[in-house]
A and B are shown apart, each in its own frame.
Chain A
Amino acid sequence: MSETPRAPALQRAPARGRVGKRTRRIAWLAPALLMLPGAALFAVVVLSSAVQSLWISLHDWDGFGGMRWVGLGNYAELWRDPAFRVSLRNNLVWFGMFMLAPPLGLALALATSQPIAGFRTMRSLFYLPLVLSSVTVGVIFSWIYVPDYGLLAQIWELWGGVAPAPLSSERWVTPAIALAALWPQVAFAMVLYMAGLTTLDAEQIGAARIEGARGWSLLWHVVLPQLRPVTLVAFAIAALGSLNSFDMVSVMTKGGPYGSSSVLAWQMFEQSISSYRMGYGAAIATVILLLSSAFITLYVRRMVRP
């Protein structure tokens, strides 16, 4: 079903002049009202909670009793904390790996957009990783990595030799976990690009083809610029995912071996929930927000640029 994306002519155009002034004066009213419910809800639930947590980060608090003011004490302690550096380093690795998600998602979306029989079903199968509970995905990937009994170990043995144990390696544990989390992330990017590919301007493509553009250059010069909004969202969500990468770390290694795979979100969870140090955990959360604010500023500026 295709629709002509043309705004249908309205039955009755209001007379100009007399109405003009009134509509101009209340022209802002309708948009403001439209925004109000969403913005209000968001502000009350999310923003105020975030501000509260900023306030909590300036205190020493166990979540139950009284709060004790420590000012920037939590941040000072964080700065000296070796576990914090490990977390930061690991988040960088996650970030790097997650930046692969949009290109891979685009590749998948392109690969499955041929009008070949059965591709529609296949597209939905590529989407599967996103709907599976992250706990189960984490366990299955652990079972891929586990020495002796894991899939990786068994395949390695077919070629002779002993497989490495990624989840025991201080060096490889983080990439191994990030790979498990990348799986649903790519599926996510794929869905975004599938939507994006439907908005391509056929005329532009046709014109470019007539001028001799083919394959890669067509992709790079004509298609990708049109997909810019999708790409920005995909990268934003990938960045978001890499900073909030709690689930997989929790299920697969609990930050181990001995803290080597800790990420900021995990450390914050441990401190807030397991150690009963809500203030310190809130300080880590503020750091996450600060890091992402750099990204947010970049993103918003790109979006708002005319």
Chain B
Amino acid sequence: MSIDQPNQSAWRAGGRLSRRAFGAGAMASLTSAGAFPAPALAQNAPVTVIWAEGNPNFDVLEAIAAEFTAATGTPVSLNNMDHEAHKIAIRNYLVAGPPEITFWFAGERTRAFAARGLFSDLSDLYDREGYAGIIGPYAESVSFEDRPYGLPLGVTLWGLFYRRDVLGPGGIPLPATWDELLSYGEAARAAGLDPISMGSKELWPVHTLMTNISLRTLPLDKHLGLYRGQVAWTDPDVARVFDNLGELSRRNFFTPNHTSFDWLEAGVFLANKEAGMLHTGAFIRDAFRPEERDQLAFTAFPVFDPGVGRSEETTINSIHICANAPNQDGARDFLAFFYAPEQLGRYIAPSGALLPRNDMAQPTDPISAQMVESLATVVGTSLNFDLEANPDMTTAALPLFQEFLVNPDRQADILDRLEAARARIYG
């Protein structure tokens, strides 16, 4: 087996290896590839991309990069990185040696780097390609001070997943309101199921659930105000959010000992019919055996208060140009190429997320169709807590949410501690 990658594609000879590591000129390998029409093209400055989204889409990204190089002659250097490692690495490379393109998250995550001048202002690209009209409301999630600093990628809608052969017609009825949710809980327990499967070890299943509960309890602007540190945690309305979540906890809705379980194990319980529902996004599909996948179904989160307009929880990934990268023009060209409907569709398809462009056809499988329909009639959307709040607040708040889920009686104390953190962080 040779050192080089097994599938040798023409662009890879110039693309994969880092020039910096060996100090060798890239141009030599590029011109030897011989796939390019004119020698002059070999003069294009390279575009470096850092990608850390997790595996399913990487092959597609490689293909897209290859097509870009073939079309424009600009070599693309792709770098794949572990998701957790990326969170550490990004803070180093944005300052020390940024690539042209990086994949990251929308919301506060984008704003944090945009505010520090580490992401490029993409207003010019938006004007050139007319993105404002195409992306619509999602542009807000990648903007800072009304200017765009990135482009949104896959949109994941969060809701309740269940098995058709356990819930729904013929089985336990699906809840659509708060009262129905409570009686669902009793029915599930009686049938020997955990009403809502929960694995809180990684902390994010808790705050994503809390987000939906908050959206059902509070009007959208108050909810966003809370998440962005403008509303106090000791506010009486906020207490209602915790009352609701605490009520579910006291009624044993959640998997016992959920602090021991990963999200993965929570999915196991759903698949093995030990739990009725799981609050998650469409990526749960990949955890089901292929022959069982059609048993998986989706339902929107129940409505608690008809007076509160319906908003939904989403997570949005994003793509950015780093402000200090050398090849700003090449980066914009790559981004425009990548974000074109055909390429973007291919990239997002494996993850099962929804598409951010309104000029593209959304996936047509039943679950996606339901999600699209749901999003079409919302008042607004919110990202989950981690993506909306200041990172420092997130570090402080997430364990407190988990503690609350296990000990709902500590509500007053936990709210006080949340408020103390907010006062320190947001001033």
Contacts and interface: CB of A to CB of B under 8 A. Distances in A.
Interface of A: 63-65, 142, 145-147, 149, 165-168, 253-259, 270-271, 273-277
A254 B259 CA distance: 11
A149 B116 CA distance: 46
A271 B421 CA distance: 13
Given A167-B259, A168-B260, A275-B395, A254 B95 contact: no
Contacts of B395: 270-271, 274-275
B202 A258 contact: no
A63 B93 CA distance: 12
Contacts of A277: 392
19 contacts: A64-B95, A64-B118, A145-B260, A166-B260, A167-B201, A167-B260, A168-B258, A168-B259, A255-B399, A257-B200, A257-B403, A258-B259, A258-B400, A273-B87, A273-B88, A273-B91, A274-B394, A274-B395, A275-B392
Nearest to A270: B395
Contacts of B201: 167, 253-254, 256
Interface residues of B, number: 30
A86 B258 CA distance: 22
B68 interface: no
B268 interface: yes
A182 B276 CA distance: 39
B391 interface: yes
A274 B257 CA distance: 26
Given A270-B395, A271-B395, A275-B395, A258 B403 contact: yes
A255 to B, nearest CB: 7
A57 to B, nearest CB: 17
Most buried by A among B260, B399, B400: B260
Contacts of B69: none
A142 B261 CA distance: 9
Contacts of A274: 87, 391, 394-395
Contact of B391 (A165, A167, A258, A275): A275
B221 to A, nearest CB: 27
Interface of A (DSSP majority class): loop
A6 B392 CA distance: 63
Contact of B392 (A64, A146, A259, A276): A276
A275 B202 CA distance: 17
A149 B267 CA distance: 13
Given A167-B259, A276-B391, A63 B91 contact: yes
B265 A146 contact: yes
A256 B87 contact: no
B128 to A, nearest CB: 29
B399 A64 contact: no
Interface in B189-211: 200-203
Closest 5 CB pairs of A and B: A258-B403, A257-B259, A165-B257, A258-B399, A275-B392
A254 B395 CA distance: 11
Contacts of B118: 64
A204 to B, nearest CB: 51
A165 B392 CA distance: 30
Contacts of B88: 273
B402 interface: yes
Given A255-B399, A275-B395, A147 B203 contact: no
Given A168-B258, A259-B399, 8 more contacts: A147-B261, A254-B202, A256-B399, A256-B402, A257-B406, A258-B400, A270-B395, A273-B87
A256 B259 contact: yes
Contacts of A167: 201, 259-260
Interface string B102-127: 00000000001000101000000000
B391 A256 contact: no
A147 B260 contact: yes
Contacts of A147: 256-257, 260-261
Interface string B251-288: 00000111111100100100000000000000000000
B245 to A, nearest CB: 15
Contacts of B402: 256-258
Nearest to A147: B257
A276 B116 CA distance: 13
